[in-house]
Amino acid sequence: MSTPTDELGLDHADVVALLSRQTATLEEIAAGAPLGGVLGGITTTLEDLLPGCRCSVLLLDATAATLHHGAAPSLPPDYSRGIDGLVIGTGAGACGTAAHLGTAVVSEDIRTDPRWDRYRPLAERFGLRSCWSTPIRGRDGVTGTFAVYHDRPHRPAAREERLVERLSHLASVAIDHDRLFGALTESEERFRRAFEDNAVGMVLAGLDGSITRANRAMRELLGHSEFDLIGTRLDELLARRPGAGAGTGEHYEAVGRTADGRVLDLAVAVSPIRGAGGRPHALSVNVVDVTERRAAERERRRRREAELARHAAEAANRAKTDFLSALGHELRTPLQAISGFTELLGTLDLDAERRSAALEHIASAGTHILAMVDDVLDVARVEAGALPLHTGPVEVAGVVTEVLAMLGPLATAERVTLRTTPPAGPVPALADERRLRQVLLNLVANAIRYNHPGGEVVVGWTVGARVTVRVQDTGPGIAPEYLDRLFTPFDRLGAVSDEGVGLGLPLARGLAEAMDGGLDVRSAVGEGTTVSLDLPRAGGS
């Protein structure tokens, strides 16, 4: 009575033995047994199932294209050493050729196979007459070869081929696992060294912020042992500065405290560590001590602010000196006139006409001084933010009409035409009516005085989100280098007119800004000047 066999042509006992060996091998692989021992067990399994053969496994170094010893428990050690490192190719014996071509190679008789020309003496020395080599295929292609040797000429039967196919697959599992496990081990070691030896403080934490590991730099930075740090929450250890954002991927500034009580300025970078599914499962935190850098920045800022304050004080002193000098100069002329005409009235017996003329000069000089003092006081009040204002809706057209009526005689005397370009409807501005009139009087008077005979002054106003009043003249214009000096008190840009003392534009701009507006001057030499007054719109947004 015959014994049942499976599709490999093995009897029941051999099938049980093969399955038992495969199970044991897989358990060794799972347990992380050394690759050489696992491959040795696989080759021994085939030798037990095929009496008279001797087996080996060579591992492929794909980068160098060379084969190296993996396992050969029944082959002479000197033979294994002799073929270790052979370069794969079509003339590199059965194993080198199989690895190169990626297909099984059968050398039925080594003595007559030309692929063994270089290795025949070595094989004959140890009595090897045939070699059958099958490439071992892994996840990334050919990873090695599985060779079966005999001491006589031999060609494998179908049963042998099926056995080698099964065991070659088992060898590929072992090799792939070893390489993956080795890569993982190497990666873990690189991470461990990069983590522990990093000069930057590093901690690993759970998603809840609890610290699980801290490297040496972090321990030294805070003066705590790893035991002290493990379990501590990040927000307890690194207090965020106000305004620092939240989240798992971020950079922020924090304050830390060392074991001896010192306070540190820290720059913190937090990034998620993602698992195989791409979901964060932990946090990696880098911490850099920026205490000295921040202290240096604060010192530089303090010095810069002190320097700016010193320059501002010096500029203010110079401005005060210049202002007092200019004011004294402007007051001296009318005071001299008052003094001179007063002396004249007191020492000479003047007729009525000459006496009246002298009194008129004294009154004019007094009025000039009073107006100048009023303007100076207004400028001072504006700069101090103490100017009393009574703002409300003001119809621009009415104020413009009053101003042009008041300045009509001056325009006639200077032979300058006054004209308006009013819009279709009313334009209500939010302003102090008296101060708005004062600003427009200054602007239109300047446009008349610094014009030329036959010239024109056009006043127009528009309304949108804000109200804009423009005073445009056809005068000689202002050179670009003088524009920055327009708002300097008593600086008349070299004008020779006796009218005005150089306070009109500084005061106009101060009044405009006090009413939440602004003043802009645009000028071109030979084309004239346009001054734009910007004000809030009454009842607008």
Q: Residues 279-300: pLDDT tens digits?
A: 888 898 999 988 888 888 888 9
On the question of pLDDT at 244 being above 70, the answer is: no
The verdict on residue 500 lying in a domain is yes
What does 391-442 look like in DSSP terms, one character per residue?
A: EEEEEHHHHHHHHHHHHHHHHHHTT-EEEEE--SS--EEEEEHHHHHHHHHH
Contact yes or no for 429/443 (Cβ under 8 A):
no
pLDDT greater at residue 77 or residue 181: 77
Mean pLDDT of 348-365: 75
193 part of a folded domain: no
Parent domain of 239: 201-289
- The per-residue b/e assignment along 52-88, b for 16 or more CB within 10 angstroms, e otherwise, is ebbbbbbbbeeeeebbebbbbeebeeebbebbeebeb
Distance CA 528, CA 446 (A): 12
What total number of domains does the chain contain?
4
Residue 405, exposed/middle/buried by CB under 10 A (0-12, 13-18, 19+)?
A: exposed
Is 174 in the same domain as 39?
Answer: yes
Evaluate if residue 491 carries a pLDDT over 60: no
More confident residue, 379 or 38: 38
Q: What is the band of 501 on the pLDDT scale with cuts at 50, 70, 90?
A: very low
3-state SS class at 135 = strand
pLDDT at residue 493 in the model: 52
Q: How far apart are CA 412 and CA 418, in angstroms?
A: 9
Does 397 map to a domain?
yes
Q: How high does pLDDT run on average in the chain?
A: 83
Cβ atoms 148, 131 nearer than 8 A: yes
Residue 428 in domain: yes
Q: Is residue 47 part of a domain?
A: yes
Confidence of residue 330 (pLDDT cuts 50, 70, 90): low
Co-location of 168 and 272 in the same domain? no
Instruction: Report yes or no: 442 and 505 within 8 Å, Cβ to Cβ.
Output: yes
Q: Which residues contact 110 (CB under 8 A, 6 or more apart)?
A: 116, 120, 123, 124, 128, 129, 130, 131
The residue among 204 and 342 whose pLDDT is bigger is 204
| One domain, residues 437 and 474 | yes
Res 532: pLDDT: 93
Among 323-337, 499-513, 517-531, the range scoring the smallest mean pLDDT is 323-337
- Residue 478 shares a structural domain with residue 410: yes
Q: Is the pLDDT of residue 136 over 70?
A: yes
Residue 505 has pLDDT above 90, yes or no: no
Over 80: is that where the pLDDT of 357 sits?
Answer: no
36 and 177 in one domain?
yes
Task: Record the tokens describing residue 134, joined without a space.
Answer: 């099958």
Q: Which of 37-46, 199-208, 244-253, 449-458 has the lowest mean pLDDT?
A: 244-253
Residue 445 is predicted with a pLDDT of 87
Look at residue 6 and tell me if it is in a domain. Answer: no
DSSP state at residue 485: G
CATH of the domain at 343: 1.10.287.130
> Over 50: is that where the pLDDT of 193 sits?
yes
pLDDT (0 to 100) of residue 381? 64
196 lies in some domain? no
Q: Which residues pair with 302 in a beta bridge?
A: none
Q: CATH no. for residue 494?
A: 3.30.565.10
CA distances from 178 to 33, 169, 185, 186, 190 (A): 9, 14, 10, 12, 18
Return the top range by mean pLDDT from 107-111, 189-193, 291-295, 351-355: 107-111
User: What pLDDT is stored for residue 388 in this prediction?
Assistant: 76
Separation between Cα atoms, residue 178 and residue 184, nearest integer Å: 10
CA of residue 86 relative to chain centroid, distance = 53
pLDDT of residue 248: 45
Among candidate residues 267, 289, 311, the one where a domain is terminated: 289
Task: Report the share of the chain in percent with pLDDT over 70.
Answer: 83
Please calculate the CA angle 344-347-353 and round it to the nearest 5 degrees. 50
Closest CA to 147 of 74, 212, 202: 74
Lowest mean pLDDT among 124-133, 234-243, 495-504: 495-504
For range 2-28, the mean pLDDT: 69
Burial class (CB in 10 A: 0-12, 13-18, 19+), 395: middle
Q: Is residue 348 part of a domain?
A: yes
Distances (CA, A) of 280 to 63, 207, 249: 35, 8, 10
330 and 406 co-located in one domain: no
User: pLDDT tens digits, residue range 310-326?
Assistant: 887 776 566 566 555 55
pLDDT in tens, 373-419: 666 666 666 666 666 778 899 999 999 998 898 888 889 989 999 99
Q: How far apart (Å, rounded) are the C-alpha atoms in residues 35 and 174? A: 7
Measured at the CA of 349, the angle between CA 346 and CA 350, to 5 degrees, comes to 100
Residue 442 has pLDDT above 80, yes or no: yes
Q: Is 493 found in the same domain as 440?
A: yes
Question: Whose CA is closest to 168, among 33, 39, 256, 20?
Answer: 39
Question: Lowest mean pLDDT: which of 20-24, 170-174, 443-447, 455-459?
Answer: 20-24
More confident residue, 406 or 8: 406
Lowest mean pLDDT among 17-21, 66-70, 167-171, 485-489: 485-489
- Please tell me whether residues 257 and 325 are part of one structural domain: no
| Same domain? 406 vs 531 | yes
How many Cβ atoms from other residues are within 10 Å of residue 192's Cβ?
12
* Whether 47 and 153 share a structural domain: yes
Predicted confidence (pLDDT) at residue 447 exceeds the cutoff of 50: yes
524 DSSP assignment: E
| pLDDT-wise least confident of 65-79, 268-282, 309-323, 411-425 | 309-323
Which pLDDT belongs to residue 27?
Answer: 86
How, if at all, do strands 456-463 and 417-421 pair? parallel
pLDDT of 421 > 60? The answer is: yes
Higher model confidence: residue 541 or residue 330? 330
- So what's the pLDDT on residue 234? 86
Per-residue pLDDT at 343 exceeds 90: no
What backbone phi and psi angles, to 5 degrees, belong to 206? -75, 170
Do 311 and 453 reside in the same domain of the chain?
Answer: no
**Cα separation, 264 vs 290, whole angstroms:** 8
CATH of the domain at 283: 3.30.450.20
Pick from 212-216, 399-403, 470-474, 537-541: least confident: 537-541
CATH number at residue 151: 3.30.450.40
Of 269, 289, 309, the one marking the end of a domain is: 289
Secondary structure of 59-70 in the HEC alphabet? EEECCCCEEEEE
Last residue of a domain, one of 289, 312, 335: 289
Is the pLDDT assigned to residue 327 strictly greater than 70? no
Q: How many C-beta atoms lie closer than 10 Å to residue 183's C-beta?
A: 10
- The answer for residues whose C-beta is within 8 angstroms of residue 225's C-beta and 6 or more apart is 219
Q: What is the pLDDT of residue 498?
A: 45
What is the C-alpha separation between 502 and 487, in angstroms, rounded? Answer: 8
pLDDT at 38: 92
Q: Which range has the worst mean pLDDT, 9-13, 19-23, 308-312, 523-527?
A: 9-13
412 shares its domain with 456: yes
Q: Stretch 235-261: mean pLDDT, rounded?
A: 76
